[in-house]
Structure 1
């Protein structure tokens, strides 16, 4: 019979009890140690870890109050709050058992014990310790993973006065659980600011869960955010936690919140007010503990006047409001941002020694950046790809700036090349130079789009 991998410590002032316990339990568990002197217990726990401690409640000759055992139990839990302790005594007093359990004991056995009862209790205790260790390991891994993920894209770059105001607000609000609304045009770094806020907060070791509400359909909204139970609808083959539950303890980031319809706004408001969610197909609400950060590029205050956004929801999500300035209003930040992206993409594409010379910088500074930081990032990535080794030229920097109301005309000879050039131009103009979005619209890869830009001299 294989032994269960479990380290057990038996503490009792009677040698015969220790011997009997060791001989019996050694048949079933990998490691069994005994200790007759209870005063050595704290030092033993510091020197060597044990999965389960079988602890006597009386040590002074003639003692029946179990006070010593309860005091030892408290000392054990001070050294190791996760310790699994089973108490034993010759006096089967229910009140003492309840008192020990309230103090943190896992279970209670009476001497002289029945071997089957003792074995079942110790197996349960070992399994409990194993589960506790697994939970701790998972929590540790989750915290480490969260830290790694939260490091990605949490750097707001720039020292302009406008950005200094943003930093000051983030620092003030980070230590609170206040709901934050981040406003700004597309590409200004709203999610980056939200991640930085989370990293600076008291919830930094917990998860940051982003949700793009613009991509969540009306029919899937409740399932995505609040979860569902098995059988709630055709494809619900198992219970699934929603984003609110997954984010509980951490930060929930609702991006593009201005895209929600009024009915969905009402459902979101109910969840935020009650601090609980009810999964689809269930009638039991579940409490959630989140820090809410929302973002949008839409004019919410105008939308409230027009009846397109609930005023009570706006009040709920914007305890503190942060306005991210567009890049054209903080041009002094273009150079450090460009240098940051240049260094990153030079490493990615293995093109060292690329530098941002005066001519390239002048070209970047003269552009209005309608796509903001995101457009600058894509521009620098393309420039690095198109550059020759060790040299970044102004011609490597593609800027697609349309004039007001500009459009691309098809009034040219309808050759295949002209049509392709026109479609590429239209996609780039529509998405403010965003290569990722333009390539998705055209149905081609980013690399294929870069080739066509180069081919047509765009």
Structure 2
């Protein structure tokens, strides 16, 4: 049985006040970089959850930085001097799960030549991070639930329960609520894990952060390899235009790393799809373009602006050419020439019939 001393020890640690941060955390040191509003809200939640010793469930797509978020909660909190022990739940088989988590005593099974501590014992006084909890089998979920309920566990083959003085943080890239509705994830375990929650936004929804991250990754690689290199204008324009990034920050980091290593000079090209009408400007120290090339680039920029301007006015006027011309402050005939110039007649002809 769990001794009273064990329970009291756990309660006392849980009640210990977390250290209040004196200033804004150094997020860059924690590898959490971003300036978008959606990401800043996540950072605020991480800072808040670090001040209380409670279970946290972190959600988010693959590559969004869930383990980094878990580490931030740990290192900003009262348990920062204790160990941070990550457990990849998807990599542990049912036959080894309890031994890996709870440890075992000598002779508990074949090849158990001596006592062995489990992940919970290794995380004593710190944080146990359960990654990919959605991959746990029903048997594994039952074993985890028993521990999360009261932090008590019994090593495999042992006769006495022990108390795990750890904070539990779990993470999943799956919708656990949907899995629970389908009967594939225990709802009682979900209720235990999602006491506090935070969901990391995908990179495609973090406006401006792709450029910021790509530059940070490039600077780190320059220091690592001792080679000065920068992202080219085309890559920066493509990053600003937005990309789907199914692999999120991890995908961006790998792309920058690969482009850095394969670059022939000081310029890094990511090879991303370019926005319409993009015309790269010459870098300082390069050969100046001819007047013809400059005029062509200028004409492309003006043409793209005109096309977009006319298209937006037609959309606002619901295809009514006369109304769009008035909004532009132009005669209908002159505005009509712009519409035909860019092949937007269909947008003008799509206007609703007049009453």
Gapped regions of structure 1 (runs ≥ 5): 1-150, 400-458
Corresponding position of 1:190: 66
Gapped regions of structure 2 (runs ≥ 5): 1-26, 275-355
Corresponding position of 1:273: 149
Deviations 1:7-36 (A, max 9, x none): xxxxxxxxxxxxxxxxxxxxxxxxxxxxxx
Corresponding position of 1:6: none
Corresponding position of 1:258: 134
Tell me if the contact between 1:230 and 1:238 (Cα under 8 Å) persists in the aligned partners.
Answer: yes
Gap change, CA 1:243 and 1:307, over 3 Å in 2: same
Deviations 1:281-319 (A, max 9, x none): 112111111111100001100111111111111111111
How far apart in 2 are the matches of 1:248 and 1:264? 21
Tell me if the contact between 1:349 and 1:385 (Cα under 8 Å) persists in the aligned partners.
Answer: no
1:326 paired with 2:189, answer no
Tell me if the contact between 1:186 and 1:371 (Cα under 8 Å) persists in the aligned partners.
Answer: yes
Displacement after TM superposition at 1:388 (Å) = 2.1
Q: What is the TM-score normalised by the length of structure 2?
A: 0.67
Tell me if the contact between 2:256 and 2:270 (Cα under 8 Å) persists in the aligned partners.
Answer: no
Choose the corresponding residue for 1:380, options 235, 256, 268. 256
Corresponding position of 1:173: 49
How far apart in 1 are the matches of 2:270 and 2:81? 43
Corresponding position of 1:287: 163
Any idea what SS the aligned residue of 2:113 has?
coil
How far apart in 2 are the matches of 1:209 and 1:189? 16
Choose the corresponding residue for 2:215, options 314, 333, 339. 339
Tell me if the contact between 1:227 and 1:279 (Cα under 8 Å) persists in the aligned partners.
Answer: yes
Structure number with larger C-alpha Rg: 1
RMSD over aligned Cα, in angstroms?
1.9
Displacement after TM superposition at 1:205 (Å) = 0.7
Choose the corresponding residue for 2:239, options 364, 367, 370. 364
Deviations 1:53-104 (A, max 9, x none): xxxxxxxxxxxxxxxxxxxxxxxxxxxxxxxxxxxxxxxxxxxxxxxxxxxx
Displacement after TM superposition at 1:173 (Å) = 1.2
How far apart in 1 are the matches of 2:167 and 2:107? 30
Higher relative contact order (CA 8 A, sep 6+): 2
Displacement after TM superposition at 1:264 (Å) = 1.1
Displacement after TM superposition at 1:200 (Å) = 0.5
Moved over 4 A (4+): none
1:218 paired with 2:97, answer no
Displacement after TM superposition at 1:347 (Å) = 2.1
Corresponding position of 1:135: none
Q: What is the TM-score normalised by the length of structure 1?
A: 0.52
How far apart in 1 are the matches of 2:74 and 2:82? 9
How far apart in 1 are the matches of 2:65 and 2:49? 18
Any idea what SS the aligned residue of 1:303 has?
helix
Choose the corresponding residue for 1:317, options 177, 189, 193. 193
Give the number of the structure whose residues are more often strand, by fraction.
1
